[in-house]
Chain A
Amino acid sequence: MAASFSSGPKTGVATITHVPPDRYTDAQLVRDVAAGNGAALGVIWDRYARLVRSVLFGAIGPDSAVEDLLQDVFLAFQRGAANVVDGGALRGYLVSVAVRLAALELRRRKVRRWVGLSATGELPELPTQPEDAEARESLRALYRVLDQLSPRRRLTFVLRHVQGLEMLEVAAALQISESTTRRELSRANEQIAALAQREPSLTRYLALRNSRGGAP
């Protein structure tokens, strides 16, 4: 565990101030994880699981694979923590790992569709808060639309619009240039807008949202 050491001004005896783990910097936590500290990994989970889950959920939708991938992201980080040079960039690192795993999952789904294991390539849905059938259908339709995008384009849309990441962060997570990111996003917007017109539930959702001034 990290602790800060300082010399007492009069006695010269070292005093130790323990900092609660949840107040450690990311860099301290990364060092602790690399040293085998499970508690530090728990703090990182508390800090970033929501973000990473959100990236995964946005990328692949309400799917039972989300929780497994979430575990994979953190376990991958734990295994590679010793190689993380800039611990302060932990957020971006975790997002980029999540993006890579999500992209792999999207490719696996395509394979599942191709080989006929599943009509949609999707795994069983995760439990969600019961909501009206229309909302469920809209969500399904949205992911049908996203399924028609390339993984990179889809992830660009998710990171920028669903997660609200800055362009530079999106570019870093996808390991592409900022200009490529902008092009991908523009094409994603265009493709999604066109495909959404073919989904009745999405056109109803968009009309309803417009009539409410943007509220869902």
Chain B
Amino acid sequence: MSQPDQNESIAASLAALARTAHERQIVDDAGGRARLLLHARPARPGLRSRPVRWLAPAAFAAACALAVWGLSPGKLRYQVTGASQAGSYVSAPAEHPVVVEFTDHTQVVLAQSSQLRVEETSPRGARVLLERGAANVHVVHREHADWTFAAGPFDVHVTGTRFDLSWDPAPQVFELTLREGSVEIQSPLSPAPVALRAGQTFHGDLALHTLTTAEVSAPAGSAPPPAPAPPSPATSARANEMADALPSSSAASAAAAPSVLAPVAGRAWPKLIAAGEFKALLEQANERGVPSCLRACSAADLSALADAARYTGQAELAEQSLQALRARFAREPAGRSAAFLLGRLREGQGAASDANAWYGRYLNETPDGAYAAEALAGRMRSVQKISGPTSARPIAEEYLERYPNGVHAGTARSILGLH
């Protein structure tokens, strides 16, 4: 072999070393994607950054064709921020909530992994169907406003109000917590509409055929109403915090005093993450007091805190935040994702057994979740480390079956001796 050929052979062998190391590198693809989209969001054309100009009709027609806006002049229009949209259908990803903002400033913050459909709009309001999941709603009060929020067989009629709504079609449970104003709820559980006032919660269970209303906070008359400013992403994030800080509105917890979060100075934490201001977020967390945040912060804030800690390499704080998410929001998307992230954290610390357990928990709870591929790959690596490649073979086979072109397909094939 000539010297140049020998050199080339050595270089190629060393390149293989780099490739193998890269395949073994622990990457957070889903997290990276979410981070990218959060960072990219400010650059998107938005409702406020795209003023209507005199030549707007053509653009407006195109926008209508794409169903970004409503369907005809006079009717309310809306825009979705944070997710793709297929016609009137809006689906929030597992990583972050989605904001649906109407031209009258009414705003619906759709929680992670939730879906809704804007069934129709009119000059006075709209009919919005929550197909599954949870939403935080602020309907701006206007004379003759006419809004209906539907979920399963429940119809909520509102004119101007703030409330949190959730609907789980599997157990057929509907919950509404009213923060401001009044609503009427029609359902097959009662012959007449049920009127709800601020500070009350409504819990309807179709399977059990039960309907419960209860107080979750001070009566409306004594509750200081929030400032009636038009909603903005920041206020919606705050509304989310308030929503998350309230206990579940079951009859048992309804009597308990709500653990409302203290007001936060500065910008909303998910916004800080989106802006890449991780240090600023951590400074705010320290000012607020990390222990109290772990006890009382919303799921969105805890997720943001965990992200900031992870991005800045503060493993202990990341773990505390993720554990708090698990303890307080285990049934919510953020709590479920925390199981995967804890697995990732443990794996990075070399604790393969713990990592395997967390990955397994995530896969049990969310078999088709956003991190399912990564969790399965994590289990594959962890089991390989704990018990060797033979034990990891079934997981490698499952990985290849589910994700034949996945990022970790090379590792799976290597475990199976396929190359």
Contacts and interface: CB of A to CB of B under 8 A. Distances in A.
Interface stretch (B24-32, B109-117, B157-165, B182-190): B24-32
B170 interface: no
Given A42-B37, A127-B26, A161-B15, A36 B21 contact: no
B223 interface: no
Interface in B114-171: none
Interface string B1-28: 0001011101111111111111011111
Interface of chain B, main secondary structure? helix
Contact of A50 (B82, B347, B407): B407
A196 B14 contact: yes
B41 interface: yes
Interface in A98-116: none
Contacts of A49: 29, 32-33
B230 interface: no
Given A1-B84, A142-B14, A57 B36 contact: no
Nearest to B22: A57
A58 B27 contact: no
Contacts of A1: 66, 84, 86
Contacts of B26: 126-129
Interface in A117-171: 124, 126-131, 135, 138-139, 142, 145, 157-158, 161-162
Given A62-B21, A189-B7, A71 B36 contact: yes
Contacts of B4: 186, 189-190
Given A192-B10, A216-B16, A216-B17, A36 B43 contact: yes
A138 B14 CA distance: 9
B351 to A, nearest CB: 10
A45 B36 contact: yes
Contacts of B271: none
Contacts of A202: 14
Contacts, number: 144
Contacts of A139: 17-18, 21
B214 interface: no
Interface residues of B, number: 47
Contacts of A42: 33, 36-37, 84
A85 interface: no
A75 interface: yes
B41 A45 contact: no
A18 to B, nearest CB: 8
Contacts of A131: 24
Nearest to A70: B32
Contacts of A58: 15, 18-19, 22
A89 interface: no
Contacts of A188: 11
A155 B103 CA distance: 51
Given A46-B33, A54-B22, A126-B26, A79 B43 contact: yes
A41 interface: yes
B381 interface: yes
Contacts of B37: 38, 41-42, 45
B53 interface: no
B348 interface: yes
Interface string A62-76: 101001001100110
B83 interface: yes
Contact of B313 (A54, A124, A158): A124
B40 A38 contact: yes
A139 B18 CA distance: 7
A33 B22 CA distance: 29
19 contacts: A1-B84, A35-B45, A37-B44, A38-B41, A42-B33, A49-B33, A57-B21, A57-B25, A58-B19, A70-B32, A71-B35, A74-B40, A75-B40, A129-B24, A139-B17, A145-B14, A162-B19, A192-B14, A205-B14
Given A71-B35, A71-B39, A189-B11, 5 more contacts: A57-B18, A58-B15, A128-B24, A130-B385, A157-B15
Interface of B: 4, 6-8, 10-22, 24-29, 32-33, 35-37, 39-41, 43-45, 66, 82-84, 86, 313, 347-348, 350, 352, 381, 385, 407
Shortest 9 CB-CB contacts between residues of A and residues of B: A39-B84, A161-B15, A127-B348, A189-B7, A129-B24, A36-B45, A193-B7, A36-B44, A193-B10
